[in-house]
Amino acid sequence: MLTTAPRGTSDILPSVTANWQQIESLIRDICLRYNYKEIRTPIFEHTELFLRGIGNTTDIVSKEMYTFEDRGGRSITLRPENTASVVRAYLENKLYADNYLNKLFYIGPMFRYDRPQAGRFRQFHQFGIEAIGSENPLIDAEVIALAVNLLQELGLTDLNVLINSVGCPKCRPVYKEKLQAFFQENLGELCKDCQSRYEQNPLRILDCKIDKCKQLSVGVPTLKECLCEECTTQFGKLQNYLAALGIKYKLDNNLVRGLDYYTKTAFEIQYLPLGAQSAVCGGGRYDGLISECGGNPTPAIGFAMGIERILLALQKQNLIKELASTVDVYIVATGEEANQEAIKLAVKLRKYALSCEIDFANRSMKAQMKAANKLQAKHVIIIAEQELQEQTYSYKNMLTSEQVSIKNQDLNMLLSKLGVDKEC
């Protein structure tokens, strides 16, 4: 139907965009404090980028991507996540030439053909950061601290920070063998997806959401037992840094995240009052992704959090403030000549950063005053027959009820009444 949005999408209406803007404003403020710079990548990319970057064994690639062939016969995919796109932009634009460490953030829509549910849509919005260029676990700690800082400033204090190390190409093969040995006896009882993962990437089995596979994973060997010395040292330092920052965390040996590119650090932040859908942020290190996409081996770490999920958490905890629709000035005008004066004055006042509204329905003065009250206008300026004859504006302060007549040539006095210090 032409009057219905596609399933899994939603309109963000004017009544709620102010809440989105508040979150985005805080995101930009915190990223500024941590010296992260904004990057904006295309909404669609060549499909190969995600096949190589995310991994063929992930649900995203195998089930959820919106992929199509354009008129030039090229396979194009709407971005299901933004890390691969940021890496592509990093390489294509040679950002590595300017800084040893690039600290980037993004806000924008992503697309996955997923089953719509509370806080999860097929077009959804993510905020994420990427720190590219350092292998120091100190940057891992800062990335986690930024996420915790943001969520706490939004008012979400009941946070559960989970961390794990998923190893590296040195120690992962050892763990792969142990996992295959563990699941071999019950291989036929795993879901079809996990049976496929068994050969390609058995680590993915630990991320399966099907109850039967979860049951069969009980008692699985932990990756911690297989970590090489480098990964063990890195993970130990991360824990020391988090302790120094006063960030409480829990070790979760089964935390592997849903993307194949993760190495070493993996983490998730849950907001427990959300219940089953408690994850509000997830990320980790992806030291092999840049070389996989054609660059030199470069360490990197990042995270993403869904803005819809954050809004859901804020709503459930009554942390969404009712934001009134207000304007600085409402100009009441009656008659054609008065309308001309009103629109000229409105344009002039907007140049002084004042929000102004006028009537477009030729309503009575009484109806326009009601409209001004509904918009909670701070000031009202009346232009009617008497004002036109006397070449004045009738000014009213809606907070103090002060009323004065101001010559329409005396713009400085009017601006003073409106709280504008700058003289014309």
Q: What is the mean pLDDT of each run of 10 residues along the chain (424 residues)?
A: 85 90 96 98 95 76 90 96 96 94 98 81 96 97 98 92 92 85 86 84 80 86 87 96 97 76 91 84 93 93 95 87 82 96 96 96 96 95 95 95 94 93 60
Q: What is the pLDDT of residues 269-325, one digit of tens each?
A: 999 888 777 899 999 999 989 998 899 999 999 999 999 999 989 988 888 876 667
Backbone angles phi, psi at 282, to 5 degrees: -150, 150
Residue type, 21: Q
The pLDDT value given to residue 95? 96
Given the candidates 1.10.150.120, 1.10.760.10, 3.40.50.720, 3.40.50.800, the CATH classification of the domain at 329-417 is: 3.40.50.800
- DSSP, collapsed to helix, strand or coil, labels residue 174 as helix
- DSSP, collapsed to helix, strand or coil, labels residue 399 as coil
Question: Which tokens go with 399?
Answer: 């907070």
The pLDDT value given to residue 407? 95
Closest CA to 119 of 257, 319, 278, 320: 278
14-171+227-316: in CATH 3.40.50.2300: no
- DSSP, collapsed to helix, strand or coil, labels residue 261 as coil
Task: Please report, for the chain, the start and end positions of each structural domain, with discontinuous segments joined by +.
Answer: 14-171+227-316, 329-417
Residues 6+ apart with CB under 8 A from 229: none
169-184 residues labelled b (16+ CB within 10 A) or e (exposed): eebbeebbebbeebbe
* Two domains, one topology: 14-171+227-316 and 329-417: no
Answer yes or no: pTM beyond 0.95: no
Q: Is residue 124 a contact partner of residue 109, using CB atoms and an 8 Å limit?
A: yes
